[in-house]
Amino acid sequence: MTVHTRARSRADRSVNIWPGFVDALATLLLVIVFLLSISAIAQFFLGQTLSGRNQALARLNREVAELQKLLGLESAANIELRLSSSQLSASLQKVSKARDIALTNAEKALASAEKLDDKLRAEKAVHTEKSSQTTVQMEVLNRSIATLKDELRRLSLALGTIEARDQKSQETIRDLGHRLNRALAVKVQELTRYRSEFFGRLRSVLGSRPGIAIEGDRFILQSEVMFASGSAVLAAEGKTHLAPVAATLLAVAPDIPEDINWVLRIDGHTDRVPIRTNEFPSNWELSAARALSVVRYLMEQGVPPERLAAAGFGEFHPRDPRQDEIGNRRNRRIELKLTRR
């Protein structure tokens, strides 16, 4: 009876071990699932952070490119000023050479006159009977010497005047260069202010609509909301997006000073998928035709044609480097940019 009881007790203990073992395995599985979830979330946020930094770097590169263009304009103006200074220096060198030649001739004439004077004085001592004639010759010679000395003084005065004029011209050139640089900086700041006002108003009107984005100094409209596939005919939805653009531009334009020669540039872009039709043999023609369609519509809304410019870039300036459907959709676009002519 005791042996049977002990055997039964051992059997009960072996059965009771299994629930605990199952609970331990379930707990271990939950821990593994939790760790995998944490890893996936961390990778997602890390990808978002890297994407934001890449976008900021691209925005900085575009701003640096624009500053380089402005610096190129200032360099061209400085080159013109330096050319004018070189021309003035060349003129001064010519005058200096002429003065040197005149001085040399005057010195030679003066030396000859002095030799002649000595000779005449010797002849006067030897031939006293010719004193009257010698006196006349001496007076003539003295007058010639005086004339040469007066001419020499006039040349010296003229050279001093030219040198003073050249120095004043150089100071004027430097002053014009400083004033030009300041004027260019002021005009750039004024255009930037009106550009910010223009895009600020557009952002408040169109910023929440799908297919529209603002990147730096460009207002971007995706082609899907503007045109049908492979077409340059402006769709009704595209006109709905462009009407506020025209109205905003007409509201801001009267406030822009007349001496700021601004234009609204419309750039057409396509994806990398080639197009070959009778109407559009390549993406160049398609992108340019779409930009012209936008220009024509803005003119119909009252925007002056001299304030509009159309450009087609084809597929050669992608917004997204990816070559999948998402990248192609982002690269098919119309960009608006308020800039100097």
- Return the HEC string of 160-201: HHHHHHHHHHHHHHHHHHHHHHHHHHHHHHHHHHHHHHHHHH
Give 284's pLDDT tier (boundaries 50, 70, 90). very high
More confident call, 7 vs 51? 51
Give 196's pLDDT tier (boundaries 50, 70, 90). low
In the numeric block, the tokens 């770097």 are attached to 57
Domain locations in the chain as residue ranges: 74-186, 207-340
**Contact between residue 310 and residue 268 where contact means Cβ atoms under 8 Å apart:** yes
- Note the pLDDT of residue 202: 61
Give 218's pLDDT tier (boundaries 50, 70, 90). confident
pTM score above 0.85: no
What are the CA-CA distances from residue 289 to residues 189, 229, 236, 269, 311 (Å)? 33, 13, 17, 10, 9
Q: What is the mean pLDDT of residues 118-126?
A: 75
Q: Which of 4-18, 74-88, 231-245 has the highest mean pLDDT?
A: 231-245
Give 68's pLDDT tier (boundaries 50, 70, 90). confident
Does the pLDDT value for residue 1 go beyond 70? no
CA distance 181 to 175: 10
What are the CA-CA distances from residue 169 to residues 84, 97, 164 (Å)? 10, 20, 9
Does the pLDDT value for residue 188 go beyond 50? no
What are the CA-CA distances from residue 118 to residues 111, 114, 127 (Å)? 11, 6, 14
pLDDT digits (tens, 9 = 90+) for 236-280: 999 998 998 899 888 888 888 887 788 999 999 999 999 999 999
Q: In the CATH hierarchy, which top-level class contains the domain 207-340?
A: alpha beta
- Note the pLDDT of residue 308: 95
Q: Report the length, in residues, of the chain.
A: 341
- Note the pLDDT of residue 73: 67
Does the pLDDT value for residue 38 go beyond 80? yes
